[in-house]
Amino acid sequence: MEKERKYFEEVDAFELLEESPSPKNTWFAGNETDNIEVPQLTLRLQKWLVSKKLDFNCGQSSTLSKIFESPGMLHSEPVGGDNLNPIILGSSDESSQKSYSGLHSVHRRVNSFLLGKDVAGMLHSDNLNPIILDSSDESSQKSYSGLHSVHRRVNLFLLGKDVAERDSHAQKSSSMMASLRADNCIDIEDAVRKLSLASTYTSISQDYVDPFTSLLAVCGQSAPSTLLDVLSKYCDPKSIVKVGEGTYGEVFKIGNGVCKIVPIDGELRVNGEVQKRSEELLEEVVLSRTLNHLRANDGNMQNACTSFIETLDLRVCQGPYDHALVRAWEDWDEEHGSENDHPKGFPEKQCYVVFVLRHGGDDLESFVLLNFAEAQSLLCQVTAALAVSEAAYEFEHRDLHWGNILLYRSETPSVQFMLEGNKMVFSTSGILISIIDFTLSRINTGEDILYLDLSSDPYLFKGPKGDRQADTYRKMKEVTGDFWNGSFPRTNVLWLLYLVDILLLKKSFERSSKNERELRSLKKRLERCNSAKEAIADPFFRDLLVEQG
């Protein structure tokens, strides 16, 4: 023991003058660390320091590790006007390409947001940094004038009546941060200096914008609304009537439109399922806005149609279900027997996304077709709409079962489609259709590809054999090779084949044996088509063509 004690005393007395530097020169000897240039504090640190400066009762400082934690952005926090750093997505990690149902960075989603007419005049605003996209597909580089980076989107959103106040606040914050560096920042900067790896600086210098905040920005909001505030704009709340339901939400009739209310981000299970996250709804919101653009036929559009449901409004809401909605839900339950949980179970701070849509009629499952002409018109309108959306956005619906096609009777004699600059006018035979529900859809907005990675939902492909809908999901998987990011317009044809089977097997309407043969012949020809754009040229639709040019 005595020998060991002397040995360690000798070692302790030895002065280590310089430690060999690591290959990356991240460690230094003596006082050289004093010369390390500390990067600018992250926005999160700056906000913390401001709050520390202003709140003298805040107690002890938070630990550095807690400050660096990814923030759980409070849903009531308004969108800030701070700098939003772009997220650069790599493609080398194969596993990362299958992350959460094909959902990509929040910034890329908002890239695809179509600005409404209220900010259309502001598109000339400041020089803003572009987003770097993970896209090797040349088609995804197609330009589209309505789509801009997240920086432009959020900056335009913030250009409102309070811009002067924001500028004043920014100047005060800048001045305050300069003074804070002399005192309060010292402890934080010292801690930052001690972080040994340079890569850590890079990772923390990117300010984080959570999906919920981006969802607010896309919907043109700084904070959530209440359900009643949104719905009362369209009708007297006492007149609200529930008209349908799904696993993830409820559908109510409000005036001349309908609204779909989808709870998000909560811990409470909805009808036995985990609530959808902001990321998922952000995809659907952006996709709905993009398809809405097909309706704006100003004479210069190469591709246009009105067969996708019109989205009138998109809002983020927070709070309990209003009494008017509860009453409408209970009336439906009494008459139809709801399969969903009672909405009274939602907590006080539950968040929702509200889709306000044009009323498109009844779904094909419940709509009564009268004759073959109506069935023919149905197939024609669906095929033409898919063809237009393929040409415009490489759109694939990927879930076009008979519950996602709405129909209503109309005296409008014809309906027009623009396909790659060519006008096609078809007879309606007295019905008009609307395609809804883009949850599983894939689209190329021109700046980004939005899709749902269906490989993360294996149960989707395990439906009973012989069931037309379940079989179609499995055929899609074969066509795509389980690579759901890619463009496979053949998936649209698979759903057209499904619709022909539905008309032959499950829908009763007045038809002759000749009509049945025509449907079966169409099905054989569709088997050889690789896109709806090919399918719309089929002779089956020629009889309905009123005008072409």
Nearest CA among 111, 39, 32, 36 for reference residue 443: 111
Helices (H) and strands (E) in the chain, counts: 17, 13
Place of tokens 């909405």: 343
43-57 burial, b if ≥16 CB within 10 A, otherwise e?
Answer: bbbbbbbbebbeeee
Indicate the range of 26-30, 174-178, 186-190, 229-233 predicted with least confidence: 26-30
- Among residues 134, 210, 322, 399, the one annotated as catalytic is 399
pTM greater than 0.85 = no
- Active site includes 453? no
What's the length of the chain? 549
Q: Which amino acid is at 154?
A: V
Give the model confidence (pLDDT) of 285-320 as tens digits: 999 999 999 997 666 689 999 999 999 999 999 999
Residue 8 — pLDDT band, cuts 50, 70, 90? low
- Pull the structure tokens for residue 477: 């998987």
Count CB-CB contacts under 10 A for residue 412.
10
Show the DSSP H helices in 159-221 as ranges.
Answer: 163-182, 185-193, 198-205, 211-218
Give the model confidence (pLDDT) of 45-54 as tens digits: 444 444 444 4
| DSSP notation for 377-422 | HHHHHHHHHHHHHHHHH--B-S---TTSEEEEE----EEEEEETTE
**Counting Cβ atoms within 10 Å, is residue 85 exposed (0-12), middle (13-18) or buried (19+)?**
middle
Give the model confidence (pLDDT) of 108-151 as tens digits: 444 444 333 333 333 333 333 332 333 334 333 333 333 333 33
Give the model confidence (pLDDT) of 451-501 as tens digits: 999 999 899 999 999 999 999 999 999 999 999 999 999 999 999 999 999
Mean pLDDT, the chain, rounded, equals: 74
503-534 burial, b if ≥16 CB within 10 A, otherwise e?
Answer: beeebeeebeeebeebbeebbeebeebebbbb
Q: Which residues pair with 270 in a beta bridge?
A: 273
Q: Which amino acid is at 111?
A: N
**Counting Cβ atoms within 10 Å, is residue 158 exposed (0-12), middle (13-18) or buried (19+)?**
middle
Alpha-carbon dihedral sign for residues 498, 502, 505, 510? negative
Q: Which amino acid is at 495?
A: W
d(CA 210, CA 278): 9
